[in-house]
Amino acid sequence: MVPKPSGSLLSGARKSGIFNGGSGPSSGVSIHDRLSARSRVTNLGVVLLLGFAGFSALLNLRYMLFHRGSSIPQNIIEFGGRTPDSLTASVAPPRTGAEKLNHLVIVTGHAVWAGCDVKGKDNDENWVLEEYQKGGSVKTFYKHIEKGMQLTNEDPNALLVFSGGQTRPNSLQTEAESYYSLALSAELEVPMIAGSLVNLTTGSSSASIGSLAHANAAVATRHGLQDARMTTENYALDSFENLLFSIARFREYTAHYPARITVVGYAFKKARFEDLHAKAVRWNTQGFLHKGERTFQYVGVDDEGLSDSETVAQSRGEKLKAFNLFDKDMYGCHGRLRQKRIERNPTRRFHPYMSSAPEIADLLNWCPAENSGLQGLYPENLPWDARVIGTGWGRGALAVKANSKGNIIPDTRWLQIGREQ
C-alpha cells in the first residue's frame, strides 16, 4: 500500500502549484485536468513570433530595394560569368590580330536591302521599307554604310559592326546581313585584320572584293573574308539594342570589350544615343583615351534635300516618338517601346549574348520600374567601368558600395574584365 502524504506535505504541494497549476489552493484544478487542457501561447511566444515576422519583412524589403530586376541570372550562377563549355567547344578562337581591336564602329540598320544589282541601290523597289522611308531614305542608308567603312579603314584597330535584326515579316534576312551584303557588292574597300591572308597577299590593310561577291547573298570567292574587320549583329530591334548588342557582339567576336565606340546613323538621333542610350549602359561619352581618341563619338548623316518644314517635322517626330519615350523608359522594356520590339520580331528570334557576353548578362536582363528614367539606371559594376587607382574597383562598383552603405559588395569577377585606367 502506498502511504498517503502528510497534511503538511500536501499543503506545500498545493501552494507550490504541483497539483493545481500554481493558481493557489482556491482553484482546485487537478493535475489531470491541467495536463489535458488546451495549450496557451505566452506573451514571450507572441513577441518571438512578431519579431520573426518583422525580420522577414525587412529582408524582403531589402531584397526589393537592392535586387529589383538585377538578381544574378541563372546562367551566371551556373556558368560563373563564363560562356558555357558546350558552346565554346564548337567556336573557333578569335582571329589572329583581333586582340588589338579596341574601337567599335556601329552602323545602325534601318531597312533590308533586297536587290541583286548594286546599281539599283538608290531605288526603293530594291529595299524592304516602311512607308515613311520611301522617297529618298535609301540613299542615306548607303551613305551610312560608306561612312562606317571609311571610319573603319582609317583606324586599323577598329571593328565595324552592322547592327539590325530580322525586323520585317516579308523578309528572312536581317538588316545587318543586307547592309553587309551591299557593302561587299559595292566594291568598297573592305577593312582587314592585320596579318590576314588578304592583307598578306595585297600588302594593304584593306581589300576590294566586291567584284568577287554575289550581290544579294554576300558570298565572296576570295579566301580570307573571315579576316575582314567587319561583322554583323543580327538581333537588335531598336536603337538602344543597336548600341548594347553591338558591344556584346564585339565581345563575342574579339573575346574582350571595346575601349571606344563610334556610332553612324541619322544626325537627328544624336541626342538619343549620347544623352540616353550611352547613359543607360553607363558608357563615358566625354572621356579620351591616352592617344587622344574620344571614348564615344556619334557621326550623323541625314537625308538630303529636305525642306525646312520637313526637317522640323522630323525633329518633332524624333522627340515625341523616340526621345521622350526612352527618356522615361531608358531600357525600352515597358509600354510602347516594348510593343515596338514585339512588332519588329515577327519570327521570334532570341539573342545569344547572355551566354556569349556573360559578364553583362545582368545589364542585358535589366528592366527597372516603369517611368523610372535616370532613377532606374543599372546600378551595378560593368566591365568598362574605369578603375580607380589604389582601390582596384571600377567607379560603378564603388558607387554600388557607397549607395548600399557597404551592404552590397560587388563581385570580384569584374576586377578581371575590361580595361584598366
Q: What is the pLDDT of residues 138-176, one digit of tens each?
A: 999 999 999 999 999 999 999 999 999 999 998 889 999
Are residue 400 and residue 290 in the same domain, yes or no?
A: no
Mean of pLDDT values over 179-193: 88
Mean predicted confidence (pLDDT) in 288-313: 90
Check whether 312 has a pLDDT greater than 80: yes
Q: Are residues 270 and 404 in the same domain?
A: no
Which of helix, strand or coil describes residue 219? strand
Q: Is the pLDDT of residue 330 over 80?
A: yes
In a domain, 296, yes or no: yes
pLDDT of residue 10: 44
Single-letter amino acid code for the residue at 310: E
**What one-character DSSP code corresponds to residue 208?**
E
Confidence of residue 287 (pLDDT cuts 50, 70, 90): confident
The reported pLDDT for the residue numbered 263 is 98
CB-facing half-sphere around the CA of 14: CA atoms within 13 A: 14
Evaluate if residue 419 carries a pLDDT over 50.
no
* Residue 373: inside a domain: no
Residues 212 and 116 in one domain: yes
Of 323, 346, 368, the residue that ends a domain is 368
Q: Mean pLDDT over residues 284-299, rounded?
A: 90
Cell of 52: 520573426
The count of structural domains within the chain is: 2
Residues 227 and 266 in one domain: yes
Query: Is residue 181 a contact partner of residue 115, using CB atoms and an 8 Å limit?
Result: no
For residue 222, the cross-strand partners are none
* Full domain range(s) for residue 130: 96-368
Q: Are residues 122 and 212 in the same domain?
A: yes
Could you give the CA distance from residue 318 to residue 321 in angstroms, rounded to a whole number?
A: 6
In a domain, 88, yes or no: no
Do residue 115 and residue 139 come from a single domain? Answer: yes
Predicted confidence at residue 388, as pLDDT, reads 59
Residue of 232, 206, 193 whose CA lies nearest to 99: 193
In a domain, 90, yes or no: no
CA atoms within 13 A on the CB side of 311: 8
